[in-house]
Structure formats: C-alpha cells, structure tokens
Structure 1
Amino acid sequence: MDRERRGWLPCLLGGAVFAVCMAGTTLPTPLYGLYREKFGFSELTVTVVYAVYAFGVIGVLLLAGNASDTVGRRPVLLVGLGCAAASALCFLAATGVGWLYAGRLLSGLSAGLFTGAATAYVMDLAPSGGGSRATFVATAANMGGLGCGPLLAGLLAQYAAWPLYLPFAVHLALVACSVAVVLRLPETVRDRAPVSAVRPQRPGLPPRVRPVFGPAAIASFVGFALFGVFTSVSPAFLAESLDVDNHAVSGLVVALAFFASTAGQSVVGRVGVGRSLPLGSAALLTGLALLAGALLWDSLALVVLSALVGGGGQGLAFRGALSAVAGASPADRRAAVISALFVVAYTGISLPVIGVGVLVGPLGLEGAGLVFIACMAVLVSGAAAYLLRRPVRTQEANS
C-alpha cells in the first residue's frame, strides 16, 4: 500500500539522481583535447586516463557489488555521490595528469557503487506492478545520464567561460542537490546490517548459464568497447581528421551513441530476448563497418551513423544479454552471474581502449581504429554465428 500511495515521483527522483551520477563519468569526454594542450600528454595517456575509470568500476563490483543489499540503498548511494563530488573536485584542482587519473578513478568508484544499488533502488521505489516501467526508468537514467555528460560539458566548454572548470562546478552543484534528494527518499531495505557484514562478491557461472553467458558476454564486451573508443578518441579524430574543433559537436556525437543505446534497450520487450541478442550483434557489426568507413573516408556523416547504429545495437544486445543470463541463473546465484557480466562489459571499456592508444603511435589514429574495428568485428561475428546455431531459448531464460 505504501508503494502505491507514493506513486511514481520517488522512482523518478531516484532515476534523476542515477542520471546525475552517471553524467559525471562522461563529463571529461569533449575536454580531453584541452587537457592535452594544457598538460602536453599523448593520445595513449588519454586512453589510459579514460580506462582508469573502468578499473574503479570493476573493483567495486568485485569487492562491494552487493553492499546495498546488506547496509541499505541510501548509504551506498550517498557514498557514491561523495566519490562523484571528490572526482569533480580533482578535475577542478587539476594541475597535472595525476589529478586526472585520481578524478577518473573516483568517478569509476561512484559508477560501480551506483550500477547495482541505484538500479535496485529505482525498482524498489516504483509502485506495485510497475517493475517493467521501473526497469526502463533505470535504463534510461543510466544510459541517458552517460549521454548528458559529454553534451553538457561540450556546450559549456564551447559557449561559456572557463571550459575546464565550469562543467565540473555545475556537476558539483547537481551532486549536492542529489544528496538532498536521497536524504528525503525512503530506505527500501528493511533488514540492514553494519558495514562490517559486507563481503566481496565472487562472480560465478553455474553450468546451466554457461551456454548463454558466452555469446552474451562477447556482445557486451564489444558494445562497451565501441563506447569506450567513441568516448576516448572520437573527439581527437573529429578535431584532427575532420577539422571539427567545436566541443559542443564532439560532445553531441558521443551523446548520440548513449541516447541510441537507451532507444535500443527500450525495444527489447517488443523484440524478445531470444532475438535481441543476434539483432543487437548484427547492429553492432554494422556500426563497426560504418565507423571503419568514417575512418577511411574522413566522413562526419558516417561517424554520426555509426554512433546511432552501433549505440542502438549495444543497447539491444546488452539488455538482451542481461535478461538472458539473469533469467537462466538460479535465484541464489543471480547477483554473482550479473556481476560477472558487468565485469566482462567494463573490461571492454578498458583494455581495447588502451590497445588503441598504444597503436596510435606506430599506426596513427585511423590505423589504430581500423585494427580495433577488425578485432571487434571478428568477436561479434563469432557471437552472432553461435547465436544463429544455438539461439537463446526464452523459456530457459525465464525459468
């Protein structure tokens, strides 16, 4: 009854807080070129700075991914917002690349804390019977927030003063508002334990999940790797190869990929889990081909198309993957299996991106990008071929 009386406002407010946190993780994206000019580091350093974020996320998922089930949703979200505020302060105080590493690591810690806790909190706060809508609210908040970060930073950097400071000052103010919102929202975990009760969560794969997990993990890895390359090196490609030095345009191109992912995730319910993985893999492959064309022919239109098609494929494949592995998992192992999928996905954001940065020196940005695309195309093609031979059984996924 309490959930019904509350209506949708608490759920939507929880989603807004989720979006604010995730926006901070992509806020520096259109600003890396300015940091390169200010501190004089290489494209490899840009990719490593970006990838440090993923290491923070993976560390939290492994060590405290289930913390909100133990100590409550609100304490975990408040700690996550504290990490987000500390990250913004690092970028505001940055006098060298070390500050950027610290800021990105703290940003990863905040995202790792929010990934599971905020998703569960949004669903907890929904009215009874609103689980499907609440899932979409959480999805839209997550990916939409990631898209709003580069868009906000790009607009402020291009059309306002203090491009390396104002975006983070604005985000700090939004985080402060989010803290006030969380303090007013109800706690939804009834049986809470002290922090000392939190134990590392070891990812695991029961035998019945393994046939589904392999292709789901590959599609997730490739989708997140595509996002990683887009958010770390596409601003440099736009500036160096296409002479697009407008920060707002760079931020918009990256944002389009995340917004397309939200759209892709929203249609999984209509397409069905069994078809969303192979269709998402096909869209990812098409997005990679479009990105290759953009690199070969220096085409802004193809960059935008690759963001839209690849982002939509990522959303379709990832939500399908998440639904498939969660549905195939025994109830008492579901959290561990989902954590394993997220670890694979965030590994896709880090290692391939660093590989691109290493190859930029000998091959150039275009050559490194083409090698990345070829490797990811082989992986996603293998996953798609496996799914065509052994499609995901929806009745198994829902058992």
Structure 2
Amino acid sequence: MLWYAAAAFVFAVGMAGTTLPTPLYGLYRQELGFGELMVTVVFAVYAVGVIVALLVAGDFSDKLGRRPVLFAALALSAASAGCFLLEGGLPLLFSGRLLSGFAAGLFSGAATAAVLELAPRGSGGFAATAANMGGLGCGPLLAGLLAQYAPRPLILPFAAHLVLLAVAFALTLALPETVRPPRPRPALRPRGMEVPREVRPVFVPAGLACFTGFAVFGLFTAVSPGFVSGTLHIGNLAVSGAIVFSVFCASLVGQSLTGRFGAPVALPLGCLGLVVGMAQVGLSLLLSSLVVLVTGAVTGGIGQGLAFRSALTAVSARAPEEHRGGTISALFVVAYLGISLPVVGVGALSTGLGLRNAGLVFSGCVVVLASAVGAQLWRTRKAEAAALATAG
C-alpha cells in the first residue's frame, strides 16, 4: 500500500480544517454583528495557535513518534470543528480558531515528517508540499461550495470535515510508525527557536520574504471574501472559496518551480511575483475587476511559493545540523507573524478608510517591502549560491 499517500491524505484533511471558515466570515458577521476588524482578529488567533504549537511542541513527534502526535492534531481539529458547530458567539469562534492553530502547528512537523519518511526516495518533498498547500486550498473551496449550494451553510462544512477527520483517524491507526521513541523517553520540553550567528545574513532577507508572502496568504484567507462581496459586489460564496483555492494552488506551482532556478535566484524571483501580484490586486480594487483579482491571486501565489521554498532551502542549508530544527522553527514563526499582524492592520485601517482603501494601502506596503527585499537578494544571489554550494 502507498502509505505515504495515506499520510498525505491525513495531512491534507487536517490543513483543510484551518481554512474552512474563510468564505463563511461574511455569514458570521451578519449573524453576530461584528465588523471587518473582528474578522481579522478572529483569523489572527489561528496564527497565535500555530506559533505556540511550533515553539512548544515542534519536536514532540521525534520523541513520541509520528502517530501519537497525528492523533493529537486530529483530535484538536475535531474539537475546532465542534466549536464552530456549537457557535453561539465570538468566544467559540476564538476557541475554534485557536484549536485549529494548535492542530496546524502539530501537523506541520509530524505529518510532513511522516510523508517524507514513508514516501519513495525523491518524491516525499513534493508529496508533503502538495498535501499541505492542497489541503489549505481545498478547505475554502469545500466550504464555499457547501455554503452556497447546500442547506445549513454554517453547519454542513464542519460536519463534512468531521467525517473526513474520521477517515483520517482510521488511516492513522493503520499507518506504520516511522520513529522508534528513545528509551527511556526524554522529557518533553518546549523546543524554542534560535538563529545562529552564521545564518543571520541569509535568515533576515529570507525571513522578510516569508513574512511578506504569508501576509499575502493572510490577506486572501481573511479579507478577500470581503473584497469579493463589498467591492466587487459578488455574493457567491463558492467564488470566494475558489479565489482562495487558486492562491494555494499557485503557491504549489511556485514551489515546484524552485528547483529549476535554484534557491538564490528563486528567492528574488518570488519577491518579484509578490510585487506583480499585489499590484494586480490593488488594480482589481480600483477597477472592481474579478478577473484582475484572480490574476493577482495566481501571480502572488506563485511568488509566495517560490519565495517560501527557496527561503526554507537557503536557511536550512546554512544552519548547523545541531541547530537546524530551531532555525527552521524560527523561520516558520516569522512566516506566521506575517500571516496575522498585517491582516489585523488591514482590519484596523478598514474601520476608518473602508475595506477597499485599506486593501490598497496593504497592497502598496507589500509592493514596497517585497521590492526592497527582492533587490537585496538579487544583489547577493552569487554570493549566496557560493555559500550554498559550500554548505552542500
């Protein structure tokens, strides 16, 4: 049996739950009566959960085994779905998003490692990436379709996810364990993060590129449904879900292209993609054009994929082996700060400027930051290629 495919399915189902509420935020706003700022705060709680899980339990699957941590992540995902099913106000929405963040943090390490270890040589990296990005993209697509064309739009998406989680639980029961926990079992301590001095010259620009790329993810997963309904005047929830789906699929394409260019070139190219994509997003808001918004989503997604995978490659290659895990955790923390803080800023700006103008300000900030980072990375690409060759 293709065990790695089963592990990839578990990974995808788990990550789908983290983006499932995306096209539903407008319905929650109508039902509970809160504004765009609160939408972004509810979304940002998820990133807090991810960061906490990465810092506290990033290496628990190395000590306990992959399957126990996957079971814990699946249980947290189910609890998150339960909070949304019982939703009676903001406290349960916050709880659901926080639990979803905890689950995503656990999945990021344990499921990625499980897919890599179960896959045939050379295919694990793409399978893990496809499961991660595919799951993130399928969540809003599934929720948008069910909410638009099926009854009980705030119930059925999460009920469907619980069914998928049950299937994932059964597959996890059958998965072979790829880690033999050491005896005696070491104490479980927070993993923390660290960036060795020799890694910092590449970590800073790579981290800024990740921050910017994940900020684009945050914009689409938290705020783009508001753009679609409020600025483009399109009330179809399936369309909102499909737009977010296109961003994650485009990121997968970008990640698959990284190997063709090599990390030192792919990283500034990714920044260029972010610049062009966010310029198109800004133009779509000015013109009220769905086509330009989708084009911007695809371009920005490809840029994010190029930037993220090449940043991860460059940082992990330069990090000493004994500090590699902590360094990669630090990069993910920076990335998830990017997916939360700028989006809350958009929500805050929208209270005074309106969502359309806040989106234009956000787009301009991303263009400026990505341009500066990309220019620096392009200037240093030859030196970084030489450093990577030495590290390899």
Q: With structure 2 as the length reference, what TM-score do the two structures score?
A: 0.97
Match in the other structure for 2:293: 303
* Distance in 2 of aligned mates of 1:181 and 1:197: 28
Shift of 1:193: 5.7
Structure 2 residues without counterparts, runs of 5 or longer: none
Shift of 1:194: 7.5
CA shift digits 1:188-232 (9 cap, x unpaired):
111346887121112111122111111110110011001101111
Relative to structure 1, the CA distance from residue 64 to residue 355 in structure 2 (aligned partners, 3 Å threshold; closer, same or farther) is: same
Identity %: 57
What are the within-5 Å matches in structure 2 for residues 227-306 of structure 1?
227-306=217-296
* Distance in 2 of aligned mates of 1:325 and 1:345: 13
Shift of 1:393: 2.4
* Distance in 2 of aligned mates of 1:107 and 1:383: 31
Shift of 1:117: 1.1
Q: With structure 1 as the length reference, what TM-score do the two structures score?
A: 0.95
Match in the other structure for 2:60: 67
* Distance in 1 of aligned mates of 2:143 and 2:261: 34
Match in the other structure for 1:191: 181
| Matched length | 389
What are the within-5 Å matches in structure 2 for residues 133-144 of structure 1?
133-144=123-134
Q: Which amino acid aligns with 1:144?
A: G
Query: Cα RMSD between the aligned structures?
Result: 1.2
Q: Which amino acid aligns with 1:49?
A: V
Match in the other structure for 2:352: 362
* Distance in 1 of aligned mates of 2:222 and 2:104: 17
Asked if residue 330 in structure 1 is aligned to residue 323 in structure 2, the reply is: no
Asked if residue 393 in structure 1 is aligned to residue 378 in structure 2, the reply is: no
* Distance in 2 of aligned mates of 1:268 and 1:378: 23
Match in the other structure for 1:3: none
Relative to structure 1, the CA distance from residue 165 to residue 375 in structure 2 (aligned partners, 3 Å threshold; closer, same or farther) is: same
Relative to structure 1, the CA distance from residue 31 to residue 193 in structure 2 (aligned partners, 3 Å threshold; closer, same or farther) is: farther
Match in the other structure for 1:58: 51
Match in the other structure for 2:83: 90
* Distance in 2 of aligned mates of 1:217 and 1:62: 17
Q: Which amino acid aligns with 1:355?
A: G
Q: Which amino acid aligns with 1:60?
A: A
* Distance in 2 of aligned mates of 1:41 and 1:242: 21
Q: Which amino acid aligns with 1:394?
A: A
Structure 1 residues without counterparts, runs of 5 or longer: 1-5
Match in the other structure for 2:362: 372
Secondary structure of 1:244 counterpart: coil
Match in the other structure for 2:154: 164
Match in the other structure for 1:153: 143
Asked if residue 106 in structure 1 is aligned to residue 96 in structure 2, the reply is: no
Relative to structure 1, the CA distance from residue 264 to residue 291 in structure 2 (aligned partners, 3 Å threshold; closer, same or farther) is: same
Secondary structure of 1:202 counterpart: coil
* Distance in 2 of aligned mates of 1:260 and 1:192: 40
Match in the other structure for 2:116: 123
Q: Which amino acid aligns with 1:107?
A: S
